[in-house]
Every structure is written in C-alpha cells, then in structure tokens.
Amino acid sequence: MANQDSALDIDAVADQIFHTDPVEPLRSKPRQQRSERSIDEILDAAVRVASSVGVEQLTTVLVAKEAGVSVGRVYYWFEDKAALVDAARTRLQDQFVGFFTDQIKDVDSSDATDLVASHARTVLMFFVEQPAALDLLDVDRTSSGTNELRALMADIIEMLLVARVEGIEPAECALVSRTLVSMLLALAGDMVVAPPDQHDVMVDEAVYAMFSYIHSRYPHEDDPVWDDPENPVQPARAVKIEGGRSRPIFPPVP
C-alpha cells in the first residue's frame, strides 16, 4: 500500500470544506457574557426540541418554552425559525469538527484499518451524543445535494482512497465516499434509538461493513481474488502494499 508520512490532518480538511464565511444568524451581537449564555440556552433548547419533534415541527414557541424564556426573547436574537435553525446547525457543525479532530488527530493515515475504524466510531458516537444532529446537520440527506457535514465525512474517506488506491478517478472516489457516508448515517439513525448496551457491537458492525466494502472493491495487489474470475465479488482496482498492508478485521460477536 502507498503510505503517507504523517497523521491525517483533519484541520486541513475542515479548512477546505468550511472555506466560506459563516452566515451570521443573530439579529444583533451579544455584548455581555450573560447575553451569550442566553443565546446558548436558546440554542440548547432548539437542539432538544429538534431531537424530540424534528426540525419540521420545531417552532419558536416550543423552543422558547423549552428554554424557559419568552418568545420575544427568541425573536430578539433570531429573526425567524430559519435563522434559529441555522444558528443551531452552525454550532453543531463546529462541535462536530472539534469532536472529530480531537478523536482522530493522532491516527496514522497509513494504517487503513485504524483510520476506517476511528472514522466510523467517531462519527457514530457523535450522533449518539447529539441525536438532533441527524436532523439539523443532514436535512438534505434524501436529496441529491450535499452539505458541510457530508462533505467533511466524505473528504476524509477520499483522502484515504487517494493516498492508497493508485489511479483512482475523482468520480469513482466520490461515489465510494458517498456510499460509505450514507451507510454511516443510516447506522447512526439506528444507533440513536438503540439501547446503550448495543452501541459497541453496532459500531463494530459498522466498521466491519465499511472495511469489507473498501477491501472488496480495492483488495491488495497480491490478493487471490485477482486470479479467481468466479469470485462473486470482483474488485475494481488493486491497492499497492509498499511498506505494509492492512491488518485483519473480524466481524463482531454480539
């Protein structure tokens, strides 16, 4: 496999994705720490309401009630529901990037097994801790478009593919990364409603599924599958094994 010399620079990936100036959803700038706390309490309430009833059913009245403030106070800071949701989404995006960076900043990108496992676990556990993020950050998951959350998750996978699969085309790279992201988001939706004692085995299953897909598509160049035209899952491209190869990964045992 082709190796990289340093750990994956998640900050650099995030900088590439969040390259535009953020939308300022506040009607006025908070001038005191107390005002900032008030805004945070409203946004916390918005996240809880979105987690409970969904973004479509979220209203400023429900958020105000959840935050223990007047509706007027919500409108003092936010022009309308859209601005409130945008602010909650922006804060969750920042939290996601920070959480992701902290969790896998020391992972060696030359170790595909560790990188895939860390990527899956980090994404899934973030959504377990912030279930409203599935709605607030992935509002367009049923459309053909994308958003910053999907872009960050996909770009990290694409960095792995470009570094390790020689000659991979951008369109193919994007297809594979989108498939893996969609898989993770679907599993995240299952995890947020599953009992906590099932989380570990669900994460392990996600890692196994992701790695199985990647390895089936891009096996090592000396893998026997290349000499077996009857193999039911035929590969797309070979992965070089310069400097080492991926470690074996086994299915979880519930």
Of residues 55 and 20, more confidence is placed in: 55
pLDDT tens, residue by residue, 53-84: 888 899 999 999 999 999 999 998 899 999 99
Nearest-angstrom CA–CA distance, 204 and 222: 27
pLDDT at 53: 87
pLDDT tens, residue by residue, 194-237: 999 999 999 999 999 999 999 999 998 889 999 999 999 999 99
List Cβ neighbours of 69 (8 Å cut-off, separation of 6 or more). 38, 41, 42
Highest CATH level, class, for 26-78: mainly alpha
Prediction pTM value: 0.75
CA distances from 152 to 94, 105, 110, 147, 160 (A): 11, 14, 19, 9, 13
pLDDT tens, residue by residue, 1-13: 333 333 455 555 5
DSSP string of 232-246? SS--S--B--TT--P
Of residues 188 and 143, more confidence is placed in: 188
Nearest to 155 by CA among 168, 132, 173: 173
CATH 1.10.10.60 region(s) of the chain? 26-78
pLDDT at 237: 92
Length of the chain: 254
pLDDT at 94: 81
